[in-house]
Structure 1
Amino acid sequence: MATETDSQSSEEIDWRSESSSVEMSRGDRLREFYRSWVYEPAVIAWSDWRTRIGLFILGVYLLMAVVEVAGLWRNPSPNQAQAWLQPFENWAYPLGTTRSGVDLLALIIESTPFILLMVLAGGVWATFLAVVVGTVSGYKGGRVDNVIMSISDFFMAIPGLPLVIILAIALSPENPILLGVVLTINYWAGLGRSIRAQVLSIREASYVEAARTMGTSTPRIIVKDVLPNIMPYVMVNFVFAARYTVFASVGLYLIGVLPYTGQNWGVTLSNAYYQGALFSTSALHWLLVPIIAIVGLAFGLILVSQGMDRLFNPRVRTRLRGESESVEEEESSSTNTGMF
């Protein structure tokens, strides 16, 4: 009986020790996840001045979107008593007013959520589809590559602007997400072919060959070995797609192809143009305010993409990891010295 009791107690001790080791390993995994995906990216991104300035600019646009969604600013309604106010002439209307007395700052704020949703939808649609097409085609090769590239070439052969105009007239998209997809309907094709060229060189690398020899699955190789090497290129092209979405939408609103539903920076530009803002110095601010909003958003996106390039640089990551490990060793050694 004593022997059975001793064996049971030893089994319980072993089970408890195994469970504690499992709990510790889970904690280590959580700490490693936080360190690899939260702490290190934040430190690397924030160390670049371009990222800081770009995030500040994008934060201003996000703040305007929040202000509009929360209804914290006045609606852009006409007020003839305040017509043709110049910027900073009346601090109740800091960016001035239009010919009918509409607050230009209110126009920009009201348009911001629509613009941001449209830009995000267009950039994500074009970039995601291009990454899927380019990585699968470049890595698999053979018949898969021929089929996918034939489809891409078909979409590249279609003139982009006429196709977008036809779809815009036929669909009259009022939803910003649908509009973003329509504007970049075939933008992904050229980007997908460029990503394929990048992947063709990466798949011959020694570490990819080693992973393939060990029997690693194709999706895992693409996610772990291929995508990290093309992410700087993908990030830059995501910004290009988002910027293209802004410029294309403004241009189509300006020429009257897209429906004038609500306010939009392109609608504001169109109204300023047809009201003679190009030929009157008193109305020039009506034209400049939406132009500055458009250029500011594009500039912020470009700065963030340039700063994010450091996130995918393995040398920067290795240097940061080495510095953090040396700091931990110094802290542990100082603690041990204090104990003695």
Structure 2
Amino acid sequence: MKPTEADGVDWRSESTSAPDVTTRDRLREVYDERIHTPLLVAWADWRTRLGFLILGGYLTVALVAVLGLWREPATSQAPRYLMLFENMKYPLGTTASGTDLAALVIHSTPDMLLMIAAGAVWATVVAVAIGTLAGYKGGRVDRALMSFSDLVMAIPGLPLVIILAVTLNPQNPVLLGVVINISYWAGLGRSLRSQVLTIRENDYVEASRTMGVSTPRIIAKDIVPNLMPYVTVNFVFAARYVMFASVGLYFLGVLPYSVQNWGVTLNFAYSGGALFSWSAAHWLLVPMVAIMGLSLGLILLSQGLDRVFNPRVRTRMSGESSSTADDDDATVTEVL
């Protein structure tokens, strides 16, 4: 029975204020669960901090190139074979033609990052979509998708990429990243499917299925979050594969030289005799260090983010955070 105005209670004001409190609490819960706690867990790991710092440095270098804050390689006029830090106007030295190595590395970074991101996103999204759907649905859907994955896996990857690169002659870094990882998703999709076969038997998945929850929602809410540690690690592996494969294909001369790339710099360094001359060794070392640094940053970031998707770590970190807040409240109460 609702309270009336005669009872001295304005029930209309209570009914209008309740949804505001509920909405605020819900937003607070979403913030704590999806933003605050993951950031707390990630920032507690030194690998995540160092990985973010390294990748932030590469993004800064890419921004310098996009904004034109560093000279173009073609406009470099400098003495030949300057060593590292021999001339601070050309801190990374110069090539046999007097080209600034810093300019070569800096102006290669934006296309490299775009290519790596496009290839990794393509491989991961396709693998997650096919692997989760095949593992959850089973039956004919599973057999059809896995047969297609096996067919893709049976095609030799490197010859396929070389044929596509020669045929399409891709110069757009996004398209090039997709071409390099055109068949990378197949193995990852089969691995994800095997994990989904186990996850779909859990009680909470069965409960969602019993309540009539749609398949896309079950996959998005109940299955994919449990796959995220494995997906994150393989996303980094896919990104590294794109980087190494592109550098190798540019070094071999398969991909067009119209796009600046660290592999192109390595090719010119090898052709210029940098492998056999100490005075030109920096010509090889500079792009190699750029490649290794980006790979290290990706690995560290993936290792740190693995803690974010680990429910035990998140529960412990959130518990420590709440216990600290309770101790602070108790201290304030004692003082008062």
Query: TM range, normalised to the smaller chain?
Result: over 0.9
Q: Among 151, 160, 164, which residue is 1:163 paired with? A: 160
Q: Aligned residue for 1:232?
A: 229
Q: Which residue of 2 aligns with 1:123?
A: 120
Q: Secondary structure at the match of 2:74?
A: coil
Q: C-alpha displacement at 1:38, in angstroms?
A: 1.4
Does structure 1 residue 138 correspond to structure 2 residue 132?
Answer: no
Most deviating of 66-75 and 219-228: 219-228
Residue among 147, 167, 172 paired with 2:169: 172
- TM-score (normalizing by structure 2): 0.94
Aligned mate of 1:186, from 183, 186, 191: 183
- For residue 56 of structure 2, what is the aligned residue in structure 1? 59
1:223 correspondence with 2:220: yes
User: Offset of 1:338 from its aligned partner?
Assistant: 5.2
Partner of 1:3: none
Superposed CA RMSD in Å reads 2.0
Residue 14 of structure 1, CA deviation: 3.2
Say whether residues 1:271 and 2:276 are aligned partners: no
Q: In the TM superposition, what is the alpha-carbon distance from 1:335 to its structure 2 partner? A: 4.5
Structure 1 gaps, min length 5: 1-5
Task: Quote the Cα distance in structure 2 between the aligned partners of 1:209 and 1:41.
Answer: 27
* C-alpha distance in 2 between matches for 1:147 and 1:141: 10
Give the secondary structure class of the aligned counterpart of 1:77.
helix
Identity %: 61
Kindly indicate whether the alpha-carbon contact (under 8 Å) linking 1:78 and 1:100 is maintained by their aligned counterparts in 2.
no
Q: How far did residue 155 of structure 1 move?
A: 0.9
User: Distance between the aligned counterparts of 2:77 and 2:224, measured in 1?
Assistant: 56
- How far 1:80 moved relative to its partner? 5.3
Equivalent in the alignment of 2:79:
82
Structure 2 letter corresponding to 1:228: P
| Aligned counterparts of 1:70 and 1:82: Cα–Cα separation in 2 | 26
Question: Which whole-Å CA distance do the structure 2 matches of 1:79 and 1:61 have between them?
Answer: 22
Does the CA contact (< 8 Å) of 2:114 and 2:173 recur in 1? yes
Within 1, Cα distance between the matches of 2:327 and 2:17?
28
Distance across 2 between alignment mates of 1:8 and 1:260: 82
Amino acid at match of 1:31: R
Q: Is the 8 A contact 2:65 2:107 kept in 1?
A: yes
Correspondence 1:68 to 2:65: yes
Question: Hey, what does 2:197 align to over in structure 1?
Answer: 200
Q: Is the 8 A contact 2:5 2:11 kept in 1?
A: no
What SS does the aligned partner of 1:185 have? coil
TM-score (norm 1): 0.93
CA distance in 2 between counterparts of 1:189 and 1:232 reads 18
Question: Which residue is 1:300 aligned to?
Answer: 297
**Of residues 182, 206, 209 in structure 1, which corresponds to 2:206?**
209
Match of 2:101 in 1: 104
Shift of 1:59: 1.0
- Aligned residues of 2:81 and 2:94 also touching (Cα < 8 A): yes
Please tell me the residue identity of whatever aligns with 1:156.
Answer: M
Counterpart in the other structure of 1:38: 35
Task: Report deviation, 1:70.
Answer: 1.4
Quick one: distance in 2 between partners of 1:247 and 1:229? 29
Query: Aligned-pair distance for 1:205?
Result: 2.1
Equivalent residue for 1:325?
Answer: 322
Residue type at the aligned position of 1:28: D
8 Å CA contact 2:4–2:11 kept in 1: the answer is no
| 1:216 partner SS | coil
CA-CA distance at 1:221 after TM superposition: 2.1
Query: Hey, what's the Cα distance between the residues in 2 that align with 1:236 and 1:110?
Result: 28
Structure 2 residues not aligned, in runs of 5+: none
State the alpha-carbon separation in 1 of the partners of residues 60 and 196 from structure 2.
38
Q: Supply the distance in 1 between the matched residues of 2:213 and 2:76 (Cα, whole angstroms).
A: 67
- Aligned-partner residue type, residue 256 of structure 1: G
Aligned: 1:14 with 2:17:
no
